[in-house]
Amino acid sequence: MQEEIPKITVMKAELLEKGTIFVKEVKELPFHIDRSTAGPSTGQNSIFLRLGQERLVRLTLTQKQSETPYTYDAKRKVIKKDEEEWLPARQVESLLHCPEQAFLNLDSNCKYHCKFCATPLIQSHINHRTLQPQVVTRIVKRVANKSLTAVALTTGVFSTPIDSVKHMCQVVEALRREFGDRLPIGVEPYVEEEKHIDMLYDAGADEIKINVESFDPQIYSKVCSEFNYQNNLKMVRYAAKVFGENRVCSNIIIGLGEKEETIDQGAETLAHWGVIASLRPLNLNPLIMQQLQQTLNNKAQRPTAQRLIKHATKHKQILNEKGLDVNKFKTMCLKCTGCDIVPQKDL
């Protein structure tokens, strides 16, 4: 018999389908607004809202109320839909990029041009900066006495993959020297060789995220045209051998024009290797919209709530069958859960 989906999860999926919310009185928010410097949400402002006791959602703020059906009333702690009170929610503090984690982007520039990513598009507007190890430890120390439970590191690739991996290793080592084993460390590098993964593991990283992005090779070759599909999968598989089960995760984007079954096949293949996917709704950041639609013949589309629930339900079944456990992740997206419907947590 099919398990019933909790109503609050269906509501989270509806919020994710839109991905946006309007806040009328920003000054009434108890915590600051988060501004992303990496990945598809680069340059966008967002807030995290707790729905019920456990569900967490990250929503991008719109500038005008007419751009989204959802409004957050911080005073009454409620999400309104089409002006009607819809769901109680309270804002959660984002420490550095997300709640309870310091998730830092070590390099704000990237020489690649993944079509769903806004990082390369805004880099000319900001000064290039690489966070040095001592700066990272200083930043993490500043939030260490708050609700910090983990550190996570991502990076653009300014020069070469090996240089950015070496830099990431130096940061991991510095964090280990400073915090010992108190703080789990997750890393999200771009890797091309097995030795890159070994280096990060030897430096002391606990968990790693290597993104598959699309399990459809044709779509992958369009959206990540500078990378090799087979080699990328090989890296994900190798990472599972080095880091072990329940320590490797990977984004598979939903909404790039892929077939429905491709998503589930991707999640299943990864699970077979001991890797847990984050089935990530495509973020149609206005900065990337045009290039993405051109690349995908206008097939890019944010997934519906129904699609998100369907794939997460199937994913849960796959993970249960393979004996994998999302709850074991201590860092990055599977710990945070703000952007996805996460099996074994949301449903």
Q: Which stretch binds ligand SF4 (CB under 6 A): 80-88, 229-237, 311-319, 329-337?
A: 329-337
3 state DSSP class of 71: strand
Structure token pair of residue 43: 């340059």
**Residue of the chain from 252, 279, 300, 333 that contacts ligand SF4 (CB under 6 A):** 333
Q: Which of 250, 251, 266, 258 is nearest to 300 (CA)?
A: 258
d(CA 89, CA 243): 36
112 binds ligand SF4 (CB under 6 A): yes
Q: Which 175-214 residues touch ligand SF4, going by CB under 6 A?
A: 190
Nearer to ligand SF4, 8 or 65 (CB): 8
336 binds ligand SF4 (CB under 6 A): yes
Q: Which 86-105 residues touch ligand SF4, going by CB under 6 A?
A: 97-98, 103
Q: DSSP H helical segments within the chain, as ranges?
A: 7-18, 119-122, 133-144, 161-179, 194-203, 217-223, 229-243, 260-273, 286-295, 305-322, 332-336
CB of 82 to ligand SF4, least distance (A): 26
Contact code string over 39-68 relative to ligand SF4, x by CB under 6 A: -------------------x----------
156 binds ligand SF4 (CB under 6 A): yes
Q: Which of 266, 268, 205 is nearest to 239 (CA)?
A: 205
Nearer to ligand SF4, 180 or 286 (CB): 286
d(CA 262, CA 281): 14
d(CA 197, CA 172): 13
| Count of residues touching ligand SF4 (by CB under 6 A) | 19
338 binds ligand SF4 (CB under 6 A): yes
Residues 6+ apart with CB under 8 A from 210: 188, 189, 191, 197, 232, 235, 236, 239, 248, 250
d(CA 240, CA 277): 12
CB of 224 to ligand SF4, least distance (A): 7
Nearer to ligand SF4, 134 or 147 (CB): 147
Number of H helices, E strands in the chain: 11, 14
120 binds ligand SF4 (CB under 6 A): yes
**Residues within the interface to ligand SF4 (CB under 6 A):** 58, 97-98, 103, 110, 112-114, 117, 119-120, 156-157, 190, 332-333, 336, 338-339
